[in-house]
Each structure stands twice: as structure tokens, then as C-alpha cells.
Chain A
Amino acid sequence: MLTKRIIPCLDVKDGRTVKGVNFVNLRDAGDAVELGALYAAQGADELVYLDITATIDGRSTFIDLVRRVAQTVNIPFTVGGGISSIADVSALLLAGADKVSINSAAVRNPDLINELALEFGSQCIVVAIDTRYIATENSQEHVVHTHGGWKPTEIRTIPWAKEVEERGAGEILLTSMDTDGTKSGFALELTATISGNASIPVIASGGAGTMEHFYNVFTTGKADAGLAASIFHFREIDIPDLKAFLNYKDLPIRMTR
């Protein structure tokens, strides 16, 4: 049976993993390659490496790290952060990444999704959507944000998720900026809506604090994969424990030991 995936996310700056509450107050959680290999050995189903500074300061992506990760780990991994062209993607895939994640560039130029899917195949194109709930006197909407989740756009999240699928995305990485860093649980309702509408897998991100939160996002939230960072990096939840718990709760889980 196809299993629910547990995905540690490594936010990377200068080859090292960093993660802070709501993307500020960065704390050092170690060497990015070593940590990825550790997670793979522990039973992580995939890894995501995000070059978190790339969009903000325009820094180019992190090819050398990607190459070292690909040489070391034997599970799939996705890379993202500041990717904006066919050339960027080509370089990352050639370095050994299995998938790339695009975010701000897809919002700026949605045709990029079509172009990348055509050039490299949908299976390796992940579209990351950072979303925040905005309530004003006149409206309450889930709104797509860019630039690390700080900059609101005019785009509504739910139709955007459908659009990226139609344009050829192979997977959606949905991060709720409302729950990210709070450890209060994933955004279940929004995740369920988007995953229920989609015929491609949805990775839920933002808000994981307990093992129950993962159970909830795979059941109520209908997610195909759950992603988290700091709770893994700081050993608040160990991946083998989490997978044993979800397996005990009768979810389809890849048990490796």
C-alpha cells in the first residue's frame, strides 16, 4: 500500500541547517549533509532542502551542497529556494536532486511551471505555496504569500493550487504561515480542501508539534506527506518513534526497522 511520507525539511544557509520560529531568530541545527543522512538512516521517506536566503537576498542556489547530499543519501530529495529558470533547475537536477521546488518564481511567472514540466517532466516539479489567512472587514481569504511567506500577493490559495496542478506541477508543498513555527498543529481544513481537490500529492507543512498532529494531517487533513523541521532538528520528535506511532494507529507507513 502506498504509504504516508514523513519529510524533514532542512532550511539551509551556507551549507548548514537553520530553523527559527517564523523564519527569524535562526538557530543552528547542524551540518546539512550529515543531518540528511541521519534522517535517511532513521527512516525519513524524503528530504527537502530549502535555501532559505536565496529569494530574500537574491543569492544563487546551492549546487555543491546538493551534489554532496545526492552522493550521500539513498532516498529522494527535493531542493528549493530562489529557483527561477530552466537553467537553475537543470543545474540542480544534474547535481543529483530528484525534484525541485519553485515558489515565488511560479507566482511571478506561472508559465514557468508549464515550461519546467515540459522540459523535465511533472514528476520532478514541486510547487511550494506559502499561504496566510487574511481577514478584513469585507473578506476572509487564504492568500498566497512570497518571499519566505512575508509578502502577500493578489492570488487566492485554493484556486492557485488547482492552477499549478493544471499547469503541470507534480506535487504541492503547502505551508501555512499561520501555523508555521507555532507547534499548534497543521492547517487541517485548508490542507484537506486542497488535497481533496488535487489529483497530485500534497505535502502539508507548518505547525507540527506532536505526533498526533501528523496523524491528524494524514486523516482529517488528507495529506499525502507531512513536513517539519525544528521538531526533528531539536529531537523533540524522533522519526522512528513517529513512524511507530502512526503505524500503531493503522496508517500506511514505511517501517524500516
Chain B
Amino acid sequence: MKTVIIKYNAGNVQSVMYALDRIGAGYLYTDDEAEIRSADKVIFPGVGEASTTMNYLRKVGLDKVIPTLKQPVFGTCVGMQLMCRFSEENSTECMGIFDVDVKRFPSDTNLKVPHMGWNNISNYKSALTYGVPDNAFVYFVHSFAPPVCDYTVAICEYVMPFSAMLQKGNFYAAQFHCEISGDVGQKIIENFLKI
């Protein structure tokens, strides 16, 4: 099986690679369209800011490649947000795979923003959460999130309920960081690789 991690200005993705190493899954880290299209599985990671990363994807043409991929694609964190329609982070037009807009957490509550730490997810409706216990804890670091929508396949609550995971056809996404979410995160990555 050929797994590709999409290479772009997505900040530090080293921990994603180490997570695949721990599972024993090989991968290619590349921005080459032919390599990406020929992969069995595509991982689209992300750490960073929406407009800068989206501008880069446009510059290198990946914004046209990713939405047309046919194999299972798994976007995480900012990768998931870029797969949505629009992000309030610097008013960024994104790729529109998921027809939902990414909102900033309101800062007028007692709760701190960013949402940082371990929170539980629920209402699973995805193959990625097979075998994951109800209300499992995963690790989040973010100030923006898509609300609950038609594509929501796991919910988390912070200030308000939001989409912890999205799914539409061959596109899968998680707002949290599977790669550092302990055994639960590892299980989700393994499930993705088994699809």
C-alpha cells in the first residue's frame, strides 16, 4: 500500500511521520501530483494559519488536486479546515470539499481560546472510529472549528458543540491531532489505513 503525506507549508508534520512509523506504515512525503494521485491513501496534515497555507496550496496548484482525489483522503487540524468552504481565520476561501464554514470560538465566555488539551468526542458515524470507546479523549489545539453540520461524524463540545470529525465520500477529516492523541489517535490512523 502506498500512503502519501502531502507536503506543503503546513508547519511541523514530523509527529505525523513518527506516528506512521510507530504503526509500521511506510509513507512518502511529497507535493508531486502524480505521486499523490497514484497513492492508495492520502494524509493532508496541517499546523498553522489558514490564509497562508491556502495561498500556498493555490500557488502550487494543490488546491485543484486535493478536491479531485478519488482515494481516501484524511485531513487533520488545519488540513480539515482547508477542506471546508471558508474560514473566519483571516477570511480565507478554502477548498470547499465540505460545504461548511469554519468559525472562531467566541471569546466572550469564561473559557479560554485556543481550545487546548484533551477533550472527549461522541456521536460517532465513521469507519475511522470503529473500536474507539464512546467519549474517547483526543488532543486539540485550535481557535477555529466547523460547527455541527450534515458531514459531522464526531462531535466535541467547547463553548459550543462543533465538528470533531467530518466525512463526505472519500474525504475524511479530524480537527484534533491523531498523531499525539495516545492510543485513541493511533487507532483512528490505523482505521484510516485499513479503509
Which residues of A line the B interface, CB within 8 A?
Answer: 1-3, 5, 40, 45, 70-71, 74-76, 93-96, 98, 120-124, 170-171, 198-201, 224-225, 254, 256
For residue A233, give the distance in angstroms from its CB to the closest CB of chain B.
21
For residue A216, give the distance in angstroms from its CB to the closest CB of chain B.
19
Q: How many residues of B contact A (CB 8 A)?
A: 36
Q: B91: which A residues are within 8 A, CB to CB?
A: none
Is A74 in contact with B112, judged by CB distance below 8 angstroms?
no
Q: Which of B11, B137, B157 contacts A254 (CB 8 A)?
A: B137
Q: Is the interface of B mostly helix, strand, loop or mixed?
A: mixed
Is B117 in contact with A74, judged by CB distance below 8 angstroms?
no
Is B117 in contact with A45, judged by CB distance below 8 angstroms?
yes
Given contacts A1-B119, A123-B47, 14 further A-B contacts (CB under 8 A): A2-B118, A2-B158, A3-B119, A5-B117, A45-B117, A71-B18, A74-B180, A74-B182, A75-B181, A98-B180, A121-B47, A199-B112, A224-B117, A225-B117
Cα distance A170–B114 when bound, in Å?
8
In the complex, residue of chain A having the shortest beta-carbon distance to the beta carbon of B179? A74
For residue A40, give the distance in angstroms from its CB to the closest CB of chain B.
7
For residue A3, give the distance in angstroms from its CB to the closest CB of chain B.
5
For residue B16, give the distance in angstroms from its CB to the closest CB of chain A.
10
B98 on interface, CB distance cutoff 8 Å = no
In the complex, residue of chain B having the shortest beta-carbon distance to the beta carbon of A76? B180
In the complex, residue of chain A having the shortest beta-carbon distance to the beta carbon of B142? A123
Q: B139: which A residues are within 8 A, CB to CB?
A: 75-76
What are 12 contact pairs spanning A and B, CB under 8 A?
A2-B111, A2-B158, A3-B137, A71-B21, A74-B186, A98-B180, A170-B114, A170-B141, A171-B116, A198-B112, A200-B112, A256-B182
